[in-house]
Chains A and B, each alone.
Chain A
Amino acid sequence: MEEVFKNPLFGILITTMGFLLGVWLQKKFKNFQLNPLLNPVLIGTLFCYCILNIFGISYEDYSQGGNFLASFVLPATAVLGLSIYRQRKILKEQFIPVFLGCLVGSLVSISSAFLLGKVFNLNDKVIYSILPKSVTTAIGVDLSAQLGGNRSITILAIMVCGMMGAIFHPFIIKFLKLKDKVAIGAAFGTSSHAVGTTKALEMGEVEGAISGVSIGVAGICTVIIALFL
Chain B
Amino acid sequence: MKIVKQLVIILSICVVSDGIAKALPFSFPGSVVALVLLAILLVSGLIKEKQIQETADFLLVNIGLVFIPWSVGVLYELKVLKGQLLVFFFVVILSLFLTFLSTYYTVYFVQKLIAKRKKEKKHGRSL
Q: Which residues of A contact B (CB under 8 A)?
A: 11, 15-16, 18-19, 22, 39-42, 44-45, 48-49, 52, 59, 62-63, 65-67, 69-70, 72-86, 88, 94, 96-98, 100-102, 104-106, 108-109, 112-113, 116-117, 120-123, 125-126, 130, 133-134, 137-139, 141-143, 146, 150-153, 155-157, 159-161, 164-165, 168-169, 172, 178, 180, 182-184, 186-188, 190-192, 194, 214, 216, 219-220, 223, 227
Contacts and interface: CB of A to CB of B under 8 A. Distances in A.
Contacts of A169: 100
Contacts of B93: 160, 164
Contacts of A134: 96, 99
Nearest to B15: A74
A190 B103 contact: yes
Nearest to A63: B69
A105 B103 contact: yes
Given A78-B35, A139-B31, A139-B32, A187 B84 contact: no
A161 to B, nearest CB: 5
Q: Which 3 A-B pairs have the closest CB atoms?
A: A66-B69, A81-B38, A105-B103
22 contacts: A18-B68, A41-B67, A59-B76, A66-B73, A74-B14, A77-B63, A78-B31, A78-B37, A79-B59, A86-B49, A96-B110, A113-B95, A126-B80, A142-B31, A155-B74, A156-B81, A160-B89, A180-B104, A180-B111, A183-B103, A187-B99, A223-B28
Contacts of A160: 89, 92-93, 96
Given A44-B68, A78-B10, A126-B88, A152 B74 contact: yes
Contacts of A97: 106-107, 110-111, 114
A82 B75 contact: no
B84 A123 contact: yes
B13 A78 contact: yes
A71 B101 CA distance: 34
A28 B14 CA distance: 36
A155 B75 CA distance: 11
Given A85-B49, A165-B96, A76 B60 contact: yes
B106 A44 contact: no
A59 B64 contact: no
Contact of A49 (B75, B80, B101): B75
A74 B91 CA distance: 29
A178 B106 CA distance: 13
Contacts of B43: 85, 88
B15 to A, nearest CB: 9
Contacts of A123: 84
A191 B56 CA distance: 24
A192 B60 contact: no
Contacts of A156: 74, 78, 81, 88
B78 to A, nearest CB: 8
Contact of B103 (A39, A161, A187): A187
Given A84-B39, A150-B80, A161-B92, A45 B99 contact: no
A130 B42 contact: no
